């Protein structure tokens, strides 16, 4: 029996009693029946609110499951893209499991326009081919292991302070070559 049915049964019993409703006992039972009716109404309101909340929770749970599925798909997509990019990098710069020293013949790099340098990461040992512009920036991350790599280009540049004629050849013309050197400039 539900709360509604029980309240209706009590009200029916009270109405069926041959009790004077104006007497003290009659007034007390009438007040109790009114309290029970009020409690039933409150319980109905709470049940409706609970049902509405449960419906909203079900919708939120469905949305959360969809979001979780979307995140899983996004993770898979990111993983696939990462693998593709890693593979493209290895293909572009020619090192992989099969051949570490030769560039893939399908890769079209215009070697004539830019200067490229091959270096090895001190952490993972993988060979990396970088453009001169990258070296000029002074630092980069190893694409394989993520190690921070720093470049000191001072060894590639001549010591221009030694050449008094400022030709930039890096020679001390008075001590090394006497009258000059083979840099193509006439020295004093």
Residue 109: inside a domain:
no
Each residue's pLDDT tens digit, 103-142: 444 445 555 566 778 888 888 888 888 888 887 888 888 8
CA atoms within 13 A on the CB side of 31: 7
Check: pTM over 0.85? Answer yes or no.
no
- CATH classification at residue 141: 2.30.30
pLDDT score of 49 more than 90:
yes
Are 143 and 162 contained in the same domain? no
Between vectors from CA 158 to CA 154 and to CA 161, what angle results, nearest 5°?
105
163 near 172, Cβ under 8 Å? yes
Are 58 and 16 contained in the same domain? yes
Q: How many domains does the chain have?
A: 3
């Amino acid at each position: 029996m539900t709360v509604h049915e029980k309240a209706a049964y009590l009200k029916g019993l009270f109405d069926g009693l041959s009790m004077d409703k104006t007497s003290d006992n009659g007034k007390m039972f009438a007040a109790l029946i009114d309290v029970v009716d009020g409690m039933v109404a409150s319980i109905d309101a709470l049940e409706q609110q609970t049902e509405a909340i449960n419906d909203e929770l079900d919708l939120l749970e469905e949305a959360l499951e969809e979001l979780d599925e979307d995140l899983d798909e996004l993770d898979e997509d990111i993983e696939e893209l990462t693998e593709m990019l890693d593979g493209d990098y290895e293909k572009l710069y020619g090192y992989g499991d099969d051949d570490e020293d030769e560039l893939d013949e399908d890769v079209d790099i215009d070697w004539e326009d830019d200067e490229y340098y091959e270096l090895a990461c001190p952490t993972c040992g993988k060979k990396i081919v970088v453009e001169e512009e990258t070296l000029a920036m002074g630092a980069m991350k190893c694409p394989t292991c993520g190690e921070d790599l720093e470049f000191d280009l001072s060894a590639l540049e001549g010591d221009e302070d030694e050449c008094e004629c400022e030709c930039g050849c890096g020679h001390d013309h008075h001590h090394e070559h006497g009258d000059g050197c083979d840099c193509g400039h006439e020295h004093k």
